[in-house]
Structure 1
Amino acid sequence: MALASRLVDIHTHVYLPRYCSLLRSRTSVPRILTSTRDGKPDDRLLILDHEPSGGRPVGPQYWDRDEKLKFMDRHGIDLSVVSSANPWLDFLPASEARTLASQLNEDLEKYCSDSPELSLSLKRFYGFGLLPLVPEISTDALLESIDQISKLKYLKGIIMGTRGIGKGLDDEALDPVWAALEKAGLVVFLHPHYGVDEKAWGDKNNGHVLPLALGFPFETTIATTRLILAGVFDRFPSLRLLLAHSGGALPQLSSRLASCIEHDPVVASRLKHDARWYLGKLYFDAVAYGPEELGFVADVIARSERFETGGSTHAPATGVDRTLGSRRMLFGTDHPFFPPLTSTEKWKSVVENLEAIDAVAGWGQAEKEGVRGGNALSLFNLV
């Protein structure tokens, strides 16, 4: 099979055994709680306060590499770039987070290095490492962690939440981290965990729908906007940032954001470019479930160059070339989350994302193969 036609999953999670052991030892969220349900042992993952239904049922698919491989084979996925799942190390004191980050990075390297070969030059698994991003951590500890990850052959980036070391990702204290990540060429996968204030969801029991469908993407939208407003992409123009869930609401709201910036005396002259320009420098997973949504994100990426030297109120009569936008979009599954509620050979959530890629108007075979895998192989320097 040609490399260009490989199916690569860049949004797929694992709770490594060492991490699971920690979660099982805890008495407060986050934790894995073992109880009895219908006379049988029942493991539940609780990663947020007030989890509906007592948390998510968990089993080997969360930590067993063979189960991940079975899932991949069932869906025709050739290669996965695996990331430790939220809440990462956020809840730990600095000294413990530093030690555990190092251990989990080594664990994930082994998880990948011992995986089957896809070809003479490729494994089935590569990974995103972890930084001990917690309050009171030293800059030296963070730089040490980046150095460790950059030297591990099968780790190609890091996964990061939105809190940084406590003040968010626009904290100037993170500038040495961005500089080191940029220099190392590591991809930063920005992933949400906390959502928004739970009071916004009201009192009605709607399961996980509102926090996951809206809260997570809004969190990503806010965090990325703060990075733009802080000038992070001006100071570190080669930083490679990959946004979960197709960038949340940021593509849809990017023109409104640009207008608000232009009319606000506090920030009007702060940035080197119109806010819409920066979206063309980001990468987006294709976990959006619909072709119209993917097409829109591609359009927003493609139009970004128009705003390099300032705002523009009128689009060219020919519109934008969404094939250009496709180059910064990458397939993902969000495994092991969103399993089907009834027995089925394939997961609807995965099938929907693949069908969405195939149905985007204006994308030819080359663009679709790029989003399905070619873009990932290029981004992670696997070709």
Structure 2
Amino acid sequence: MITRGDVIDADGHITEDDNQLRDHMEAPYRNRQSTIYPQDHWDRSLGGTLGERAKDAKSWLDAMDKGGVSQAVLFPTAGLGIGWIREPDFAVAVCKAWNNFVSEEFQKISPRLKGVALVPFQDVPEGVVELRRAVQELGLPGVMLPAVGLRKPLGHEDFWPIYEEAERLGCMVGVHATVRGPEYFAADKFDQFIDVHTLSHAFAQMMQMTSLVLRGVLDRFPSLRIAFMEAGCSWAPYWAGRMDEEWEMRGQVEAPLCKQKPSEYIRSGRVYFHAENYEPLIGATANYLSPDVLYYASDWPHWDHEFPENIDHLNSREDLSPEDKTWLMSGTAKKLYKLD
């Protein structure tokens, strides 16, 4: 039985604001009067009735103490929209500011807090340099890939130098979606947040997995660790089978850099997934993929989090063995992020 205190949160969030980032931003970018990220107008919190705020390390440490979490790996909130920034030089400045912010104001406050890096895919050479700085100088254990916003899919060869550097550094890359830009994940026909959010993460992850696998990223970089965040895990067996079907018919001609069945890459032990308690088939997915690629994530403090109750719910599931639950609650996160 997993107890509180044996848990690592592989994907929590900081609710950072523009002023916090500007404090870490170089001139002249800090003097811009516009908002840093493109905004939308969805009422995520339903008038303030859902979700919480976590702008600083103390908020996170207090929540971890209440929930019995030993370590947390933190992602941005506004920064999920990094792919939407169009000016390459500004994207570079924002990524540097976030990396400095999460290092100085979270990681250096407590060894229990880790932060993922942002790198500017809008300027790949600068992205390589910033990834190297973030990992080697700041000690950030991974980098977030924006699932929506960029004009090219994540598997595009233009982005390969970033994956090459991540593989060389031994850091994970985590694909994370957002509801911004519903036209990017086939949700622009809908007018309610409930519809758009239902589609957003799952559809965006499916699209980016398709690109990363069929364009050959997992073949070209055989030790790269890729995580798919906040879309659950039980879609992966279905999508692996669907890609296999397409690859068998057309792969030799249209996906020549994908040299094995897509499912072989997905089941290779280096593609990781967030298991969410609402999923009825976590046990079957663990049997298909391997228990040591499924991880726990709180998504705290976002409007739809179920922390810390989801720890108990997952721990009480009957379709997972005690060993599976150990991987889920801490072992997989240690392996994914190379945590001590």
The interval holding the TM-score normalised by the smaller chain is 0.7 to 0.9
1:90-239 matches, within 5 Å, as 90-116=84-110, 123-134=111-122, 137=123, 139-163=124-148, 166-193=151-178, 194-195=181-182, 196-201=185-190, 203=191, 205=192, 208-239=193-224
Scaled by the length of structure 2, the TM-score of the pair is: 0.82
Q: 1:173 to 1:142 in 2, by over 3 A?
A: same
Report the Cα offset of residue 350 of structure 1: 4.1
Uncovered stretches (5+) of structure 2, i.e. residues with no partner: 23-29
Residue type matched to 1:198 in 2?
A
Q: How far did residue 59 of structure 1 move?
A: 9.3
Instruction: Determine the structure 1 residue equivalent to 2:25.
Output: none
Amino acid of the structure 1 residue aligned with 2:62: K
Alpha-carbon distance in structure 2 between the residues aligned to 1:186 and 1:282: 13
Q: Which has the larger radius of gyration?
A: 1
Q: 2:60 aligns with which of 43, 58, 68?
A: 68
Match of 1:330 in 2: 295
Matched length: 321
**How far, CA to CA, are the matches of 1:173 and 1:211 in structure 2?**
29
Aligned residues of 1:217 and 1:248 also touching (Cα < 8 A): no
What does residue 277 of structure 1 align with?
264
User: In the alignment, is the contact (CA less than 8 A) between 1:190 and 1:242 conserved in 2?
Assistant: yes
In 1, distance between residues paired with 2:332 and 2:21? 35
Code of the aligned partner of 1:294: I
Shift of 1:12: 0.6
- Note closer, same or farther for the CA distance 1:228–1:336 as it changes in structure 2 (3 Å cut): same
Local SS of the residue matching 1:250: helix
2:322 matched to 1:368? no
Unaligned stretches of 5+ residues in structure 1: 32-46, 117-122, 302-324, 340-346
Distance in 2 separating the partners of 1:154 and 1:360: 38
Counterpart residue number, 1:36: none
CA positional deviation for 1:161: 0.5
Report the alpha carbon displacement of residue 189 of structure 1 after superposing the two structures with TM: 1.0
CA distance in 2, matches of 1:107, 1:13: 14
Q: Deviations over 1:159-205 (max 9, x none)?
A: 1102585211121111111111111111111101245233333x5x4
The answer (yes or no) to whether the contact 2:121–2:127 under 8 Å persists in 1 is: yes
Flag the structure with more relative contact order, 1 or 2, with Cα contacts below 8 A and sequence separation at least 6: 2
Corresponding residue for 2:287? 299
Structure-1-length-normalised TM-score: 0.74
Partner of 2:26: none
Equivalents in 1 of 2:74, 2:45: separation in Å? Answer: 26
- Distance apart, 1:376 and its partner CA: 1.3
Matched-pair contact (CA < 8 Å) for 1:170–1:226: yes
Note the C-alpha offset of 1:114.
3.0
Tell me: CA distance 1:291–1:140, structure 2 relative to 1, closer, same or farther (3 Å). Answer: closer
2:234 touches 2:281 (CA, 8 Å); kept in 1? no
RMSD: 3.2
After superposition, give the CA deviation of every residue in 1:33-62 in whole Å (9 maximum; x if it has no partner). Answer: xxxxxxxxxxxxxx43x5247987599823
**Corresponding residue for 1:262?**
248
Contact 1:251/1:297 (8 A) holds in 2:
yes
Percent same amino acid at aligned positions? 19
Which of 187-196 and 142-151 deviates more? Answer: 187-196
Q: Is the 8 A contact 1:189 1:242 kept in 2?
A: yes
